Structure 1
Amino acid sequence: MSLYGMMRTGVSGMNSQANRLSTVADNIANSSTTGYKRASTEFSSLVLPSTAGSYNSGGVTTTVINSISKQGALQYTTSVTDLAIDGDGFFVVEDAGGTTFLTRAGAFVPDKDGYLVNTAGYRLQGWDLSQGPRPGAPIDPSQIDAIKIDDTTLQWAPSENGTFTANLPRDAVIVPAANLPSANAATAAYTAKSSLVAYNSAGGQMILDVYMTKTAAGTWEVAVFDQSQATAGGFPYTGGALSTETLDFDATGKLTGTSATDITLTVPGGASLTIDLSKMSQADADYSVSKAVLDGSPPSKIERIEIDKDGTVYAQYANGSMKALFSIPMANVPSPDKLTVISGNVFAQGAESGAVTIGWPTEGKNGKVVSGAVENSNVDIAEELTAMIESQRNYTANSKVFQTGADLMDVLVNLKR
C-alpha cells in the first residue's frame, strides 16, 4: 500500500465532490431559468493494478450529464409569443451570426426589427408561408429563416371567392324578358335583391348588387351589377351587368344537374370573383338569405398574433381577417442528453447525440406547440439541497483520508529520529 497513493485517492475524491457541488450550484442558480436542463454528476471508479500482498488505491472520476430529455413543468403566461413544447422536440433558433442551435427556452418577444427573440437573444426560425405550403419532413436548415413579423405595413386582399345561399319563392311572378335586370332598362323588374361587399386590388370597397328574377317556372336569372354605376332611380346601370347566370330548379326545389352552380365576374379594378350558388333553393317560402359572404379585406395593420399547436403563426388584422404567415419547425435527435450544452440554454449537435432532423410539430415525438406558456427548469430544489449536503459530507470524509495519510507520513518520517 502506498501512503502517497492513499493521499492522491483522497484528493481525487475531494475533486469529484467539488465537481458535484459545482453542478448543484449551477442547478440551484438556474432553478428559475426558462428551459434550463438539470446537470448531474456521475461517478466512475479508477482501479490500479494490485498484488496479492499489496493493494494500490485508485481514485474516482466524474462525468457531467444533462437531463435534456426530461421535460420541465409548463407555466402559462399572458403573452401569445411565449412558447413551450409538449413533447420531445426543440425549437430551431439562430444567433446573430446565423449559426443554428436548438432550444427549449421559448420566452420569445418581438425585437425592434420584428424578429422573435428569446431572453438570450436567439431568433426563432420558421418557414415563410408566402413561399408556399411548408415542405415535407425532414427539411434542411437552409430552407428556414428567422421569423420576422412586420406590423407597420398595411395588408389587404382582393375578393376572389364567395358564397351566396338563399331561398327563392316558388310562387314569384314571372318577369318578361324585356323587363329583366340583364336588359338594363329603366323599366327593369326583379323578384329579390341583395348587396355584397367586395374589395378591389387596391383594397377599395365595392358594393355589388345581386338581382334574383324569375324568368319561367323553375328558372331564375342571377344578375350582378356595380352599385356605383347605378342611376338615381336604380336602372339602368352604366356599363350594364358585370355578369349574369341562369339557375334551373327541379320539382323538389333543388338545382338540376344541368343548372349553373356559380357565377363568375371581374370586380371593377379588382380580380376575378367566383360566387358559389350551389346551395340555392326554390321553396314555398319567402325570399331569405342564409349566407352571403365574399373574401377579401381592406387595408389594415396587424393587431395581434396567434400561434396554433401545429406551429402555424397567424396574423389577425384590425379588420378581423386572419392570415397564416409562418410555420414553426421542430427539431429532434436520437439522444438528446448527449447534445452539447451552450450558454443561453441552447444546444448543438454532439459527437454522440446523433444527427439533427427537422420536421414539424405533432409529427412523431416532436410534440405540439403550446402558445402562452413557457417550460420551467426541470430542477428540483429539494433534491439539489439533499445532494449538496451529501457532497459536503463526502468531501469532508475524503479530506479526512488525506489528513490521515499525511499523519501516517509524519509517523514514517519520525522513525529515523
Structure 2
Amino acid sequence: MSMNIALSGLNAARSAISNTSNNIANAETAGYRGARAHFGDLFSSSPFSPVKTQTGNGVELQQIRRSFEQGALENTGNILDMAIEGRGFFTLRDQNGGQIYSRAGAFGMDRDGTIVNNEGLELLTRPVAANGAPLGGGAAQLSPLSIPMKSGTPQATGAADLQVSLPANGPLSTPPFDAADPATYAESTPIEVRGADGTVRDATVYFARTQVPGGGTPDTIYTAHLVVDGTTMTTAAPELTFDADGQMTAPGGPISFTGAGDTIDVDFAGSRLDTGGFAVDRYAHDGRGLDALQGLEVDDQGVIWASYGDQAAQAMGQVALAGFNNEQGLRPLGSASFAATQASGDAMIGGPQTEGLGSLRASALEGSNVDLTEEMVNLISSQRNYQASAKALETSSSLTQTIMNIRS
C-alpha cells in the first residue's frame, strides 16, 4: 500500500511539473491562458477499522484550471491586431463551419480580403449600418468579414485629350491601315481607356502620314486610327492637318471614334509638327476605375472601417465578442483557442463594451498571462515533491526488501 501511495505522489508531482513546464513554454504565446493543477487526497474507509487508525491512499489529479486574468497588452502597429481588455473572446469560424473562441488577436487578410488569424480561421463579425451603428446579430447572424480590395462607381471613357508632336519629315504610309503592318502607319502610342466596369482596355492610337507638302500644297496630313481591344474603331473625319509652320489647322474639335457599341471623342487640340521625333505631350480622359483600398481602421466599438481613394470611410462590420457564464468549462483546443461545452454554457454574443464584455484595442496584442516568477517557484516546489515521493518509494522498497530477507 505504501508503495502505491508513494507512486501516486510521483505521478502527481510529474503532472504538476508538466503543467508548469507548459506554462513556461507558452510565456510568449499571445492570448495564452495559464493553467494550474489541482489535486485531492484519496481516502477509503472501512467499517471494521477505527477512523483514528486509518491513513490516506495517496493523491489524484482532480482538475487543470485555467486562469482568465488579463494579460499584458503590447502595441504592434498592425491595424488588424486586436486585444480585448476585460471579459470576452474573439469569435472564429473553423474549417468545418463551427465556432471557436480565442483571446489571441493577431489577424490579417488572406488573398480574398477575408480577415483571418494565423491559422486561417475566419474572424466573425456583426452587421452594421452605414454610420457604423451595430444592427444586432446573435450567434446565427455572425459572418466572416471580407474587405473588398476596390470600391466605388466606375465610368467608361467617353472623351479624351491627346496632344502629340508628330515628325515633320518622313515617308508616306502605305494604305490601307493595318495595325499589324508598320508600313501602314508612321507612329503609335498606347493610351488608357476604361470600360464600363472601370477596367483598363487595350487601346492604341496610330498615326498614318497620308500627305506631305508639295504639289502646290504646304499642308501635312496625318490620319488617326484608334484600335481598342483589337477592333479598329471607325470615324468620319480622321485627318489631322498641319500648315507650313507645323500648327494644326483641322479638325476644329474632337474626332469621334465608334466601334463595338462604344463612342470615344478624342481631342487632338494643341498637336503640332516637330523636327524631332514623335512625343506625347499630354493625355487625359474622363474614364474612372474603382478606387483601391487605402487603409483600415478599428474603432473602440470594434467597428472596422475601410477607406477607398477620396471616398468617406465605409463601415464594414463589428468584431463579435463572446462571453460565458462558466469560462472554466471551456474545452482547450490549442493555439490559445477554446470550444464551448455544456459546462461552459452557450456563448453570449455582443459587441465590445456591451453585455458585460470588455473593450477592444486596435494595433495591440494581449500576451500570455503567465507569471514566470511564480511558475519558477512552482517548478522548484514540484521538483521537491517529486524527490520526496521518490524517497518514500525508495523507503517502502527497502522495507519490503528487509521483510523478504527476514523470511529467507
TM-score by length of 2: 0.63
The one-letter code sitting in structure 2 at the alignment partner of 1:395 is Y
Paired AA for residue 5 in structure 2: T
Once residues 307 and 14 of structure 1 are traced to their aligned partners in structure 2, the CA distance between those partners, rounded to angstroms, is: 51
Q: After the TM superposition, which residues 252-263 of structure 1 pair with which residues of structure 2 at under 5 Å, given as runs?
A: none
Q: CA deviation at 1:156?
A: 4.2
String of CA shifts for 1:15-38, please: whole Å, max 9, x gaps: 011111111111111110000000
CA offset digits 1:37-93 (Å, max 9, x no partner): 001101111112152385343111113434342110111111010000111011100
Instruction: State the match for 2:7 in structure 1.
Output: 11
User: CA–CA distance in 1 between the matches of 2:296 and 2:43?
Assistant: 60
**1:299 and 1:112 mapped to 2: Cα distance?**
18
Structure 1 residues 374, 341: closer, same or farther in 2, change over 3 A?
Answer: same
**SS in structure 2 of the partner of residue 129 of structure 1:** coil
Distance in structure 2 (CA, Å) of the matches to 1:330 and 1:48: 46
The letter of the residue matching 2:405 is N
Match of 2:143 among 126, 142, 145: 145
Say whether the 8 Å CA contact 1:28–1:379 is kept in structure 2: yes
For residue 20 of structure 1, give the secondary structure of its aligned residue in structure 2: helix
Residues 65/378 of structure 1: CA separation in 2 closer, same or farther (3 Å cut): same
In the alignment, is the contact (CA less than 8 A) between 1:36 and 1:378 conserved in 2?
A: yes
Give per-residue Cα distances to partners, 1:123-175, cap 9 Å, x unaligned: 11112437996333xx4322111111121x332499xxxxxxxxxxxxxxxxx
**Separation in 2, partners of 1:97, 1:379:** 31
Counterpart amino acid of residue 71 in structure 1: Q
Q: Where does residue 303 of structure 2 map in the other structure?
A: 312
Matched, 1:380 2:378: no
Is the contact between residue 154 and residue 289 of structure 2 (CA under 8 Å) also seen in structure 1?
Answer: yes
CA distance in 2 between partners of 1:120 and 1:63 (Å) = 32
Could you say if the C-alpha distance between residues 314 and 157 of structure 1 is closer, same or farther in structure 2, counting changes exceeding 3 Å? farther
Q: 1:143-292 residue pairs with structure 2 within 5 A?
A: 143-151=141-149, 153-156=150-153
| % same residue | 31
Partner of 1:212: none
Give the 3-state SS of the residue equivalent to 2:68 in structure 1. coil
Contact 2:23 2:35 in 1 (8 A): yes
Give yes or no for contact 1:49–1:56 (8 Å, CA) kept in 2: no
Which position in structure 1 is the counterpart of 2:242?
A: none
Partner residue in 1 for 2:72: 73
1:401 aligns with 2:392: yes
- The amino acid that maps onto 1:148 is S
| Counterpart in the other structure of 1:351 | 342
Report what 1:104 is aligned to.
Answer: 103
Contact 1:127–1:329 (Cα < 8 Å) also in 2: yes
Larger radius of gyration: 2
Structure 1 counterpart SS, 2:380: helix
Retained in 2: the 8 A contact 1:11–1:398? yes
Q: Distance in 2 between matches of 1:348 and 1:68?
A: 16
Q: Deviations over 1:192-250 (max 9, x none)?
A: xxxxxxxxx999xxxxxxxxxxxxxxxxxxxxxxxxxxxxxxxxxxxxxxxxxxxxxxx
Number of residue equivalences:
275
1:355 Cα shift? Answer: 2.1
**SS at structure 2 position matched to 1:124:** strand
- Is contact 1:47-1:57 (8 Å) kept? yes
**TM-score (norm: length of structure 1):** 0.62
8 Å Cα contact 1:68/1:336 also seen in 2: no
Q: 1:322 aligns with which of 281, 292, 313?
A: 313
Consecutive unaligned residues of structure 2, counting only runs of 5 or more, are 156-195, 199-287
Counterpart in the other structure of 1:337: 328
Q: Secondary structure at the match of 1:394?
A: helix
Deviation at 1:298, TM superposition (A): 8.8
Looking at structure 1, the residues matched to 64 and 309 of structure 2 have their Cα atoms a distance apart, in angstroms, of 49
Structure 1 CA distance, aligned partners of 2:34 and 2:305? 34
1:119 maps to 2:110: no
Alpha-carbon spacing, 1:21–1:371, altered in 2? closer, same or farther (3 Å): same
C-alpha distance in 2 between matches for 1:202 and 1:123: 30
